[in-house]
A and B are shown apart, each in its own frame.
Chain A
Amino acid sequence: VLLLTLSLVAIAHAELCKPDAQNAFKVRLSIKTALGDNAYAWDANEEYLFKAMVAFAMRRYSSKSTTQISNVLLCNVTDRVSFWFVVTDSSKNVTTVPESEVEAAIRMNRNRINSAFLLSDKTLQFLKITSTLSPPVEPSTPVWLIVFGVVLCLIVAGIVFLIVAGIQQRKKKNKESTERENLEEKGEVTVTIENGIPCEALDLKAGHINGVFAADDERFTSL
């Protein structure tokens, strides 16, 4: 009798958990992609942990402590590692918990499930359950405005400084030239003048090309 009940249960389970069965979800793990050399092998112990996590999720969600590990059925485990699972309802015989409940339960506890396996939303995929992507952290003032403000202040400070320095220089020059004119009128200061230009004002670096003396045959009428 024992063997009969066991085999009946096994057949019932096989009926409930099949690829594309009602209320069944496909799970896909990419352990090697996530962990590289630290990847663990997927064996019966890991499957037990998975069942435990799903049971935990169901318990937390519906807050009735009736879901057992034995309620979670896994099947069709492949090398990839991927498999299908269903959650059976122990109160009602041989039926599965509806999809929406399981989905909501897993959504609520996604983080815990991921961390149990050291994986993330991308490497532990529940194919029918889309994850909400976390928005990027946005500071209150955009960073670029802050940098812009800093650079703007520096540039404006530079411009103001240069303009003010230019005005001061010009004032000094005007004062000097009026002083010199006053002194000249008094006849106290002899200023060396060349061609009507005071020598100090001449920028000795800049030359003047005297156009009259440029070798310019065209100016003279040809004979």
Chain B
Amino acid sequence: QAMEKSRPLWDNPLQFVFACISYAVGLGNVWRFPYLCQMYGGGGFLIPYFIMLIAEGMPLLYLELAVGQRMRQGSIGAWKIISPYLCGVGVASVVVSSFLSMYYNVINAWAFWYLFHSFQDPLPWATCPLNSNRTGYEEECEKTSSTQYFWYRQTLNISPSLEASGSVQWEQALCLTLAWLVVYLCILRGTESTGKVVYVTASLPYCVLIIYLIRGLTLHGAVNGLVYMFTPKLEQLSNPKTWISAATQIFFSLGLGFGSLIAFASYNEPSNNCERHAIIVSLINSTTSIFSSIVTFSIYGFKATFNYESCINKVILLLMNAFDLEEGSLTADNLNEMKDYLMATHPQEYAQLSPQLKNCSLEAELDTAVQGTGLAFIVYSEAIKNMEVPQLYSVLYFVMLLMLGIGSMLGNTAAILTPLTDSRVIAARFPKEVISGVVCFINCVIGLIFTMEAGNYWFDIFNDYAATLSLLLIVLVETVAVCYIYGIRRFEKDLHTMIGRKPNWYWKIMWAFASPLLIISLFIFYLTDYILTGTLQYQAWDATQGQLVTKDYPGYALVVIGLLVAASTMCIPLGALLTFIRKRLKRESISTV
């Protein structure tokens, strides 16, 4: 007789909380939030951020966790239970998660690459390589900085445009394979292995952040960065983009809509207090964002001060050499007076020299706001190379990036694997090791696209378009489904059975009105934004100039973008349509009998 297989569970609720934290606290907290803080008013950005957290973040997180815990199935099964017409929502979640896992692991591959290169003295991105006849440095490296050269040329070997695909970089392919092997190792045994791994991936980044906080705050010039960031520019609050960015950041930072949270919660005991966990996870996520932006801004301040002082020293050297002044006579303090003096006494020579004399400004250095891979791999590595014992800090930093990235990958793969292992068709035939292996292998092979020379451009396409609009739609449908189709009273009763008390009016109002309204407004904003801007553009690296230039996407790239968005969003109506047709056919076959 058939033995009923019981659902695997987390060993204790702490594993579940750690898994959620490990998934939610990802690279976005480190490389997107500090950028937003800087762009939209420094300390003042925290106001819209917290308002959005309360209006949107916590309720939606609680909703997803509760659905997963109640239905005890992955995303496809859970939404099928809520209403058979909603099976498309689950499928859409899985599709978005697969897109994400295709490209996200490339970031881990890059982190591995930098990590392995951190075991050298000096660090390879600290100096430019020499050119072929050893009389100077490589031309491309001269035009830009050594860290940018290492990123664009030696890591990515980027091509000048999307059309020039180039070949697969074998070094990056190796790192990508390794990254997938690591992910496979962690998900191999399901919650058994994932549960132990998340202890490390959730806590290690905090240890590193604390070390970096101490190191960062003691760096020379860190205070400049902190002051710059935290001085609130409250006039930015009147800019609608501020509020939209805050809402978007909360939304994507928590990883809603991918199905990972539902998957994680489905492995909970039914009596788990997911309300408390939702509040804890969302608060920890936001606090981590603020914490990491303190670290990032001390690093920014250090780097800006270092560059500013280098700039001043270059000017001093130039003047000293041109006018044969004694060493030490020109310092940063008397530079301006000496410049006036020299201009007065040797006007011709000074005029010849003045195009080379750059105006060094600390503000300008601090103003360079960077986000994304540029922040993580260029700005941070530039700051690290100027610290003492740079190898240690480099290793720590890239291990932290790896932990954050792998933690998020665990959630993504869980979102794909849980529906697969839930479905009896597949799970009966193959053991879960094989299913995980096949999923990892397919994703690895597809991910090789991103290791080509033009791979970073495709990465940007996936990063910007694969998940954004689709997720908004998915979560909107989720909220509306739970509140209005499933019924909020039924949901209340379910929560009462699970937790022991009904959700109070705050949750109900947010679920029924505030969050859906917010999501609809975000959705409308993004749609109009895309429609109004016309052609989509991207940043390409120009090796001859040593900087990024803007180019238009070619036709086939636009088609790919359209397919990406359509593949996930169309699942929802298609699923409803298919269920409708199937029910019609069943009813007809019954009535004809």
Choose the segment among B183-191, B294-302, B337-345, B519-527 that binds chain A (4+ C-beta atoms closer than 8 Å). Answer: B183-191
Tell me if B135 and A32 are in contact (CB < 8 A): no
Q: Does A2 sit within 8 A of B, measured CB to CB?
A: no
**B115 contact set on A, CB distance < 8 A:** 147
Which chain A residues in 183-223 approach chain B with CB under 8 Å? 196-198, 201-203, 205-209, 214-216, 218
Which chain B residues in 484-514 approach chain A with CB under 8 Å? 490, 493, 497
Nearest chain A CB to B11 CB, angstrom units:
9
Give the complex CA separation of A163 and B185 in angstroms.
Answer: 9
Contact of A206 with B269 at beta-carbon distance under 8 Å, contacts A28-B321, A155-B181, A158-B185 already known: yes
Tell me if A78 and B324 are in contact (CB < 8 A): yes
Tell me if B181 and A196 are in contact (CB < 8 A): no
Chain B residues bordering chain A, tally (CB within 8 A)? 48
Tell me if A207 and B270 are in contact (CB < 8 A): yes
Q: Does B543 sit within 8 A of A, measured CB to CB?
A: no
Choose the segment among A86-94, A109-117, A132-140 that binds chain B (4+ C-beta atoms closer than 8 Å). Answer: A132-140
Give the complex CA separation of A91 and B24 in angstroms.
Answer: 83
Interface residue SS majority, chain B: loop
Tell me if B326 and A79 are in contact (CB < 8 A): yes
**A136 contact set on B, CB distance < 8 A:** 122, 127, 129
Q: Does B182 sit within 8 A of A, measured CB to CB?
A: yes
**A144 contact set on B, CB distance < 8 A:** 113, 116-117, 119-120
Tell me if B178 and A148 are in contact (CB < 8 A): yes
**B120 contact set on A, CB distance < 8 A:** 143-144
Q: Does B588 sit within 8 A of A, measured CB to CB?
A: no
Tell me if A155 and B178 are in contact (CB < 8 A): yes
Give the complex CA separation of A133 and B134 in angstroms.
Answer: 6
Tell me if B135 and A132 are in contact (CB < 8 A): yes
B92-119 Cβ-contact flags toward A at 8 Å (1 or 0): 0000000000000000000011011101
Tell me if A201 and B9 are in contact (CB < 8 A): no
Tell me if B3 and A201 are in contact (CB < 8 A): yes
Give the complex CA separation of A120 and B168 in angstroms.
Answer: 43
Tell me if A147 and B270 are in contact (CB < 8 A): no
Task: Using CB atoms, name the residue of chain A closest to B70.
Answer: A209
**A156 contact set on B, CB distance < 8 A:** 181
**B137 contact set on A, CB distance < 8 A:** 133
**A207 contact set on B, CB distance < 8 A:** 269-270
Q: Does A74 sit within 8 A of B, measured CB to CB?
A: no
How many Cβ-Cβ contacts under 8 Å join chain A to chain B? 105
Tell me if B181 and A152 are in contact (CB < 8 A): yes
Q: Does B193 sit within 8 A of A, measured CB to CB?
A: yes
Tell me if A159 and B113 are in contact (CB < 8 A): no
Q: Does A31 sit within 8 A of B, measured CB to CB?
A: yes
Report, as a range, how many residues of chain A touch the other chain. 35 or more
Tell me if B135 and A206 are in contact (CB < 8 A): no
Tell me if B9 and A206 are in contact (CB < 8 A): yes
Q: Does B433 sit within 8 A of A, measured CB to CB?
A: yes
Give the complex CA separation of A78 and B325 in angstroms.
Answer: 8
Tell me if B130 and A135 are in contact (CB < 8 A): yes
Give the complex CA separation of A31 and B182 in angstroms.
Answer: 53
Contact of A133 with B6 at beta-carbon distance under 8 Å, contacts A79-B326, A152-B178, A166-B189 already known: no
Q: Does B431 sit within 8 A of A, measured CB to CB?
A: yes
Q: Does A80 sit within 8 A of B, measured CB to CB?
A: yes
Give the complex CA separation of A143 and B114 in angstroms.
Answer: 12
Q: Does A63 sit within 8 A of B, measured CB to CB?
A: no
Tell me if B327 and A162 are in contact (CB < 8 A): no
Nearest chain B CB to A158 CB, angstrom units:
5
Nearest chain A CB to B179 CB, angstrom units:
10
Tell me if B327 and A31 are in contact (CB < 8 A): yes
Nearest chain B CB to A219 CB, angstrom units:
11
Give the complex CA separation of A157 and B321 in angstroms.
Answer: 60
Nearest chain A CB to B149 CB, angstrom units:
15
Task: Using CB atoms, name the residue of chain A closest to B326.
Answer: A79
Tell me if B188 and A80 are in contact (CB < 8 A): no
Tell me if B7 and A206 are in contact (CB < 8 A): yes
Q: Does B174 sit within 8 A of A, measured CB to CB?
A: yes
A-B CB contact pairs (8 Å), 20 listed: A79-B325, A82-B324, A133-B134, A135-B130, A147-B115, A148-B174, A151-B178, A158-B185, A159-B184, A163-B433, A170-B431, A177-B3, A198-B3, A203-B6, A203-B9, A206-B6, A206-B7, A206-B8, A206-B269, A215-B497
Q: Which positions in B face A, CB cutoff 8 Å?
A: 1, 3-4, 6-9, 72, 112-113, 115-117, 119-120, 122, 127, 129-130, 134-137, 174-175, 178, 181-182, 184-185, 188-189, 193, 269-270, 320-321, 324-329, 431, 433, 490, 493, 497
